[in-house]
A and B are shown apart, each in its own frame.
Chain A
Amino acid sequence: AFFWLLSLLAASLLWFVSVQLSGREDAALLLLGAAAAVLLQELCRFACFKMLKKADEGLATLSEDGQSPISLQQMAYVSGLSFGIISGVFSIINILADSAGPGTVGIHGDSPYYFITSAFLTMALVLLHTFWGIIFFDACERRHAGGLGLVVGSHLLTSGLTFLNPWYEASLGPIFILTLCTGLWAFGTAGGSFRNVLKCLSCK
């Protein structure tokens, strides 16, 4: 979470500076800021990975049987989840606070579905961050550049799709499909398979 906040800080600094320099507030600048934010987030995810890897090695050398008590996959899950939580919370908490107060949604001509779509989008984003975390760490561990590229690419794609709001069909739909696919991919990366699922469901 701390790392995500750092990335957000850096991104906003960039955006702020660019706004000041250009002297006007523009959607284009916002796009630039958002893209920078995505890239910085991925960078910070990488930094998180490096730090956790080092901590993992330290724990492994100190533990009794040479194995660290937390597996890298668990760390990937936790880090992805924390990224997701903090990003989701930052996205939605002001909206939640406002929703508890008086007012009408979309009275000025915006979509009346603002709250509910925000909720769904945030949920998708949290899940996506978790999945991205798992895939990212796995790709870094195995030095699989393709995985890395796909994670960054899908993040950019998601963020870009949200720019199509309020054309919700075009943004929500694809984002959910992307979430599902990423989820399946992460599940596969983490070692799950169809057989595992069956075994789990039919738990004897």
Chain B
Amino acid sequence: MTELSAHLPQFQHGQLTENFPETHISNTNDNSERRRHDNSERRRNDNAESETNGQPQNNVQQVVEQDEEEDEELTLKYGAKHVIMLFVPVTLCMVVVVATIKSVSFYTRKDGQLIYTPFTEETETVGQRALNSILNAAIMISVIIVMTILLVVLYKYRCYKVIHGWLIISSLLLLFFFSFIYLGEVFKTYNVAMDYITVALMIWNFGVVGMICIHWKGPLRLQQAYLIMISALMALVFIKYLPEWTAWLILAVISVYDLVAVLCPKGPLRMLVETAQERNETLFPALIYSSTMIWLVNMAEEDPEAQRKSKSSTYDKQAPASRTRNENAEADDGGFSQEWQQQRDNRIGPIESTPESRAAVQALPSNSQTSEDPEERGVKLGLGDFIFYSVLVGKASATASGDWNTTLACFVAILIGLCLTLLLLAIFKKALPALPISITFGLVFYFATDNLVQPFMDQLAFHQFYI
């Protein structure tokens, strides 16, 4: 008994004496002399084992909990960072669009409509106008749906060449033709005299660098800048050629379609995402804005773990937990990616060839050495989202009676919607539609601000009252 009591304090002293009971137990187990001794040893044995086992268990549990906590914490941290990373390009795009609308009158002049919206809105009765706009929206949406399904079918049957060709033709159109028109209009607005040779040189350089940057390799910032510019150009085209009610209706219906297409099991976009995941390839060599360049490299590799380990010299600071999480997340379609539709943005244009492209991230295995930390994976946002956000804000600035107030309100609403969407993305970790929440907020705020807030603020400002 005295032996027992002598050992107990050591047990109670805990970890430091871990080894002692074990060796002691092994020794005493080997010498099973007397039963009393055996029993006491066994009891001590049990105590010791429970103690020593308990500690590793606790350790394991703690490690697991810490991992989970770290995961959640990393998720939230990433979420916040990604929100900021997406705020800047969305804001830039909107700023460009609003600035152009305010200064260049070309984009607010009614110069006819596209063939996709054949019904005019200059009708006599309100009912007729409503009907026309509904028909226009229906035609446009069906065009978009058809194009999306076509794209998905092409992708499924591995007609990559066709898709590539389509995207290249669209980016050609956007980069050369639309920017030429844009440049011309800006010159006209500011009454700048310019000769054709200089213009040809400028447009040629702009276009070629854009094609290279978007479809091949280029500095990340330049690529992002080009994507923003073509989104803005596309949005401007929309704002110019879509009549009023049609535009609002299209925005509303598109967000519903977005929701359906991405979330329903049979939705085209969801099938696209899943097919890309199955084949373990990058989603598209175009049409997606990404804030960083790397992770696609890993997706395309056979053994991402080995790949990453090979470049571990640069990325030493990663914890193993986050690395495995990255892997899982990437198998899950890269955690923070959002897909968006491509065609809808494009079926506009005087020529029937479909202007598609904006390119985001290429799988560039050779770039793997220069790419950033896989932890800094970044979010991907479809260019269609950029375009429709800018269309909303641009229309608000073009046609609202409240002018800047309405524009600002829509801007804030869209950004908050984007925040919420990214939060949901961080929680659900799968592809989500980016349009619905933002566009809903934007539309609500647009109509509310234009009709309700504006008269109120006008009256207050007239008398110089402040609230």
A interface residue numbers (CB < 8 A to B): 1-2, 5, 8-9, 11-13, 15-16, 19, 25, 27, 30, 33-34, 37-38, 41, 58-59, 62-64, 86-87, 89-91, 93-95, 97, 114, 117-118, 121-122, 125, 158-159, 162-163, 165-166
Contacts and interface: CB of A to CB of B under 8 A. Distances in A.
A168 B106 CA distance: 43
B76 interface: yes
A9 B449 contact: yes
Nearest to A17: B452
B466 A91 contact: yes
B404 A41 contact: no
Interface residues of B, number: 29
Contacts of A122: 466
A30 B463 contact: yes
Nearest to B466: A162
B69 A121 contact: no
Contacts of B452: 9, 12-13, 16
A118 B459 CA distance: 15
B419 to A, nearest CB: 9
B455 interface: yes
B323 to A, nearest CB: 19
A117 B464 contact: yes
Interface string B440-467: 0000010011011101110111011111
A37 B467 CA distance: 7
Given A37-B467, A159-B465, A165-B464, A2 B76 contact: no
Given A2-B413, A89-B408, A94-B404, A12 B465 contact: no
B467 A16 contact: no
Interface of B: 69, 72-73, 76, 403-405, 408-409, 412-413, 416, 445, 448-449, 451-453, 455-457, 459-461, 463-467
Given A5-B413, A25-B459, A59-B76, A93 B408 contact: yes
A5 B412 contact: yes
B413 A15 contact: no
A94 B464 contact: no
Contacts of A12: 448, 452-453, 455-457
Secondary structure at the B interface, as helix, strand, loop or mixed, is helix
Contact of A62 (B76, B409, B449, B455): B76
Contacts of A58: 76
Given A2-B416, A95-B461, A41 B467 contact: yes
B465 A165 contact: yes
A16 B464 contact: no
Nearest to B76: A62
A2 B412 contact: yes
17 contacts: A2-B412, A8-B467, A9-B448, A11-B456, A12-B448, A16-B452, A30-B459, A34-B460, A87-B467, A90-B408, A91-B466, A94-B461, A117-B464, A121-B464, A125-B466, A159-B467, A162-B464
Contacts of B448: 9, 12-13
Contact of B412 (A1, A19, A25, A121): A1
A97 B98 CA distance: 14
B403 A94 contact: yes
Contact of A97 (B404, B409, B412, B455): B404
Contact of B464 (A97, A114, A158): A114
